[in-house]
Structures are given as structure tokens and as C-alpha cells.
Amino acid sequence: MEITNIEEYEALAKEKLPKMVFDYYASGAEDQWTLRENRNAFTRILFRPRILIDVSKIDMTANVLGFKISMPIMIAPTAMQKMAHTDGEYATARAASAAGTIMTLSSWATSSVEEVASTGLGIRFFQLYVYKDRNVVAQLVRRAERAGFKAIALTVDTPRLGRREADIKNRFNLPAHLTLKNFEGLDLGKMDKSNDSGLASYVAGQIDRSLSWKDVKWLQTITQLPILVKGVVTAEDTRLAVQAGAAGIIVSNHGARQLDYVPATISCLEEVVKAAQGRVPVFLDGGVRRGTDVFKALALGASGIFIGRPVLFSLAVEGETGIKKMLQMLKDEFELTMALSGCRSLKEITRSHIMTEYDLPRPVPRL
């Protein structure tokens, strides 16, 4: 079957992967309302295209923290990629590099920062949780720096793990032949495989629930790398992130895997952008499946987007080739959207090119 859009990879991955693995990748928290809303909210944003503009040349290049990339489409951190394919994070790193874009490596990867660096040149960020033992955090950061990673994506929305019922039913465990490679040699204890969810037990025991804004400042004392605060959905926290010295903000609800019934990230984006007031770049992850989605996010003020689950699904189906195809399809759709909207560069994408449900005229009530 010829794959014509990236959503088709999910259906194929469901057929190919063990149920426990697919459900871990695909599911959200509790009722999964936010999981559905992350996609549905994009459908409520419509275009206001401009016509009769010379779009014979389209420039999609973006600048992220001073790094020039081929498009404003980057790879979000997703854990345990070797459950999807034997090449795991190696394939993702090579595909991102080939596409001229940024890969973010999960700290819960099944390949270490050193192993990913060994795949060759590429711009890579490292996703970080803060653990009770700050020495462990410092070790992870130093290793990422030595391996040539260019930024830290600090995940801040996980003081406790969200309740993912599919994992409980499946008694999710990392398969025995795989390990969390970044933690080899570090004293973090062993994953409890006797619990309903070994992953939940592990995270609950190691991630520091006392994490606060002072720890964002502390992190800046142990690294020169720019810190992106990942997990912001409100104006209030945006202002605090800027005050704390964040180099950028990622509007994220953790792929709808944490607190259910929070708004879709695309619905939170404009509020965050307005609160940032241009002081730091704002990025988005969650629910992006089309090039039209990328355009909508940029029109609402994002400097770029990160994509997660489609990486896992395309990896599961076709390995490195699948990720390359997925990124190219998304890039091609984005370029087409730009052309049909009358935009020749990212700076020409503006709020006036879209309308949201709040922009639509309301019926006048009868008196």
C-alpha cells in the first residue's frame, strides 16, 4: 500500500507492534479527552489565503536558538524507541540529520547520548527530568554536553506520572532485552516489574516531586546549554519561565499523557505567545499530523513545532526510511500550504492567514 499521509503509519503500526507497545505509544491519560482534542482543535482553525502572489520560490528554513534548519518541523522526545524498531533512536537521529532538522533525545531512550552522537553530525537537544539525586541530573547534563547536544528540554509537567489505563491493563514493562541506556552505571534502582506498571513505579520513585522554579535557575548554574521549558500551557507560567531565564518555551501537555481535560496545545498557544512578548521563542508539540497544522501553529505565533508519535509509528513500520518519508510528507504539505496561502517565507505567515472559532461572527440575539 502506498502511504500518502502520516496518519496511515499509525494504523500500520497497530498491526505490526505488540499490543502492549502500541498502547504505550498511542494512549493518553484517563478518558483520553485531551488526546482527541489535541487533534480536533486543529480542525476548528480555518484558512484565509491570499491570492495572486508570486510563490514560485518558497523558503521554509527556520532559525532555532541560532541553529539554521531546513524547516520549522523538529522531532520531539519519545521514550524507548527500540520497542518500535531494532534501530530505535539511531534511526531517528540519522533521519533527522538527513532532513536537516533537530532531534530531541528522550532521557528515557533505549540508546544513550553517546550512542546517538556516534551516528554522525546533527543538531540534537536532550530532554531532561529532574531527579531527587541532583548529582544524577548533573551527570546526565554533562554527558549530553560532551556528546555535542545543543540544548536541554526540561520537562516540567510530570511531578507524578499521569494515569494511563492502557498501561495498567497491559501491565506495561520495558521488554527484558532493552534498557534505559542513559542510566547505565547510575544508581537509580531497578524498575519494579511486579507492579501494575513498572514504568509508573520507576518514575514515581525517582522524579523529584518538589521540582520548582528555583531548580530551573539551579540547572543554569551547572550548564551553559540553553534551557527550553517543556510543558507550559498558561500565560502565568510563561511569565515565570521567562523570569527564570528560560531560553525558550515548548507549549506541551505531554502528548495528553498527564492531566486529562486540559486544552489542546494549539488552543493554549496564542495565550503563551502573547505572554512571552517576543522575549523568548515559543514552540509547540501535540497533535500535529499535517503540514496545514504546522502552518496554523506558526500563524498563531509558534517559532516551530515538535512531532512525537508519528516518529514512533513510521519507525515501527519502515525504520529509518519511514521517518524520512514521514518528515518529507509533512514538509511537502507545509510547503504546499504556504504556497496556497500566499506565503513565501516563514516571516510572511501571520495571524491574518487564519481564523479560529473565536474569530467567527456570532449570531445577534433577538430582543
Q: Residue 128 forms beta bridges with which residues?
A: 154
50 marked as binding residue:
no
90 marked as binding residue:
no
24 marked as binding residue:
yes
Q: What is the DSSP string of 28-66?
A: -STT-HHHHHHHHHHHT-EE----S---SS-B--EEETT
160 marked as binding residue:
no
Q: First-to-last CA distance in the chain?
A: 58
Q: How far is CA 163 from the centre of its chain?
A: 20
304 marked as binding residue:
no
Q: Residue 48: which of 313, 356, 254 has the closest Cα? A: 356
Q: What's the grid cell of residue 176?
A: 527484558
Q: Is 353 a catalytic residue?
A: no
319 marked as binding residue:
no
Q: Residue 156: which of 105, 91, 102, 207 has the closest Cα? A: 207
Q: Residue 326: which of 362, 350, 291, 279 has the closest Cα? A: 291
Query: Distance between CA 313 and CA 290 in Å, rounded?
Result: 15
197 marked as binding residue:
no
48 marked as binding residue:
no
287 marked as binding residue:
yes
Q: Which of 85, 177, 254, 353 is catalytic?
A: 254
239 marked as binding residue:
no
309 marked as binding residue:
yes
Question: 333 Cβ partners below 8 Å, 6+ apart?
Answer: 5, 290, 291, 292, 294
43 marked as binding residue:
no
Amino acid at 23: D
202 marked as binding residue:
no
DSSP state of 120: -
| Known binding-site positions | 24, 77-79, 106, 127, 129, 155, 164, 230, 252, 254, 257, 285-289, 308-309
**Which residues are known binding-site members for FMN?**
77-79, 106, 127, 155, 230, 252, 285-289, 308-309
Catalytically active residues are: 254
Numbered residues of the known binding site for glyoxylate: 24, 129, 164, 254, 257
